[in-house]
Amino acid sequence: MAECLLDESERDPGARLGNARRVVIKIGSSLLVDPSTGRLDDLWFGSLVDDVGALRSRGQDVLLVSSGAIALGRRHLGLREGPLRLEQSQAAAAAGQIRLAHAWQEALGRHDIPVAQVLLTLGDTEQRRRYLNARGTLETLLGLGAVPVINENDTVATEEIRYGDNDRLAARVAQMMSADCLVLLSDVDGLYTADPTQFPEAELIATVSEITPDVEILAGESTTDLGSGGMITKIAAAKIALRAGCHMVIASGRNPHPLQAVESGAPCTWFVAGDTPASVRKQWIAGSLKPRGDLVVDAGAAAALAAGKSLLPAGVIEVHGEFERGDAVIVRDGDGTELAHGLVAYSVSEARRIMGRKSSEIAAILGYGGRDELIHRNDLAMIKRNG
């Protein structure tokens, strides 16, 4: 009987990956690069790419966060043993990234999947304007059916301005792109009740729905995983993902077809989000951002917004405030009643010039093309009213 009470995804945890609309997959260096040869493990790599191809052919958006640049480049430059100094890692990354990108291009190309390399630094996800640019580019790539292959821009990232590990970078990407599933493939199959290398009776934890202090302690005790991450950065990634409404899974990538394995329920640890990315984003737009201006709309636009549509310039009759592209603004009706908060796609001076005009006229008016919508519906949070 208890079975009936379980929600679908509890019975079939792999469906969180299988049914996701947008997936970020992080692949650790220790999986990609064979430490004895310093080369890519081709057989395994091919099987992973087959799995990515399967997700794409079902129409799922895929973003890959691929480590391995430093591991691939160090051998190429003759930097063999021991820890590297920062400038050596940067040099190794410069040599390795080109190989890494080439390998992804070759492998995904066999599935006719266009590949695009995106190298990010911390500021690209933490500073608003750069964040908007990075998100816009990634969104365009996904819209064109490409798979972005993302890594930290190690060659320019010094200690103070680097993520340092791709677990958190992947979580930031998942948050930025409103992904609904983040897969961390590494050399461990999840979070254990104790360090399994020391305590054979340690058990794998199948589901975590909240990062409690106990979970953090467990992560601190774990000594597994050879990448720069370890379990602590995976838990930090889980915190970011869950706050963004994105499920996250730590799964072993040791065997071929690691994504297929997660989907078919192989042992792993799922961090289950209580919210969806869309609702978290709307709460953020409505609650956390200080509005910089007001857009007054006509009755037709107000009705369109209430029906879940985007705000087009044609429906705007007044523009107030001082705002830039990407800032939050309040949308009001002619009586001054707040209808919505939203992220505006044009600056105040541009908005004044295009208000009341058709979207097809935007390029001619501004001298450059932009979005058709002044506020896209994904960037709108409607004000709920009782009654």
224, 195 contact by CB (below 8 A): yes
* 70 touches ligand GLU (CB under 6 A): yes
* 154 touches ligand GLU (CB under 6 A): yes
Exactly one of 18, 148, 196, 227 binds ligand GLU (CB under 6 A); that residue is: 227
Angle at 275 between CA 210 and CA 61, to 5 degrees: 110
Stretch that binds ligand GLU, among 149-157, 295-303, 311-319, 340-348 (CB under 6 A): 149-157
Element (H, E) at 216: helix 213-221
DSSP string over 96-127: HHHHHHHHHHHHHHTTT--EEEEEE-HHHHHS
170 vs 261, which CB is nearer to ligand GLU? 170
* Type of residue found at 151: N
**How many of the chain's residues bind ligand GLU (CB under 6 A)?**
15
Question: CA dihedral defined by 33, 255, 191, 173, rounded to 10 degrees?
Answer: 60
* 121 touches ligand GLU (CB under 6 A): no
* Type of residue found at 240: I
Q: What minimum distance in Å lies between the beta carbon of 70 and ligand GLU?
A: 3
Sign (positive/negative) of CA torsion 5, 10, 16, 19? negative
Exactly one of 64, 69, 295, 330 binds ligand GLU (CB under 6 A); that residue is: 69
CB atoms within 10 A of CB 48: 24
The single residue listed with the structure tokens 């450059």 is: 368
CA distance 348 to 179: 30
Q: What minimum distance in Å lies between the beta carbon of 67 and ligand GLU?
A: 4
* 68 touches ligand GLU (CB under 6 A): yes
Q: What minimum distance in Å lies between the beta carbon of 170 and ligand GLU?
A: 9
Q: What minimum distance in Å lies between the beta carbon of 198 and ligand GLU?
A: 24
47, 204 contact by CB (below 8 A): no
CB atoms within 10 A of CB 274: 10
* 228 touches ligand GLU (CB under 6 A): yes
CA distance 333 to 335: 5
Q: What minimum distance in Å lies between the beta carbon of 209 and ligand GLU?
A: 26
70 vs 138, which CB is nearer to ligand GLU? 70
* 90 touches ligand GLU (CB under 6 A): no
Q: What minimum distance in Å lies between the beta carbon of 154 and ligand GLU?
A: 5
Q: What minimum distance in Å lies between the beta carbon of 163 and ligand GLU?
A: 8
43, 256 contact by CB (below 8 A): yes
Stretch that binds ligand GLU, among 43-51, 196-204, 222-230, 234-242 (CB under 6 A): 222-230
Q: What are the residues facing 240 on neighbouring strands?
A: none
227 vs 315, which CB is nearer to ligand GLU? 227
CA distance 204 to 50: 27
Q: What minimum distance in Å lies between the beta carbon of 230 and ligand GLU?
A: 10
Diameter of the chain measured on Cα atoms: 71
* 166 touches ligand GLU (CB under 6 A): yes
134 vs 296, which CB is nearer to ligand GLU? 134
60 vs 151, which CB is nearer to ligand GLU? 151
Which residues form the interface with ligand GLU (CB under 6 A)? Answer: 29, 67-71, 93, 151-152, 154, 165-166, 227-229
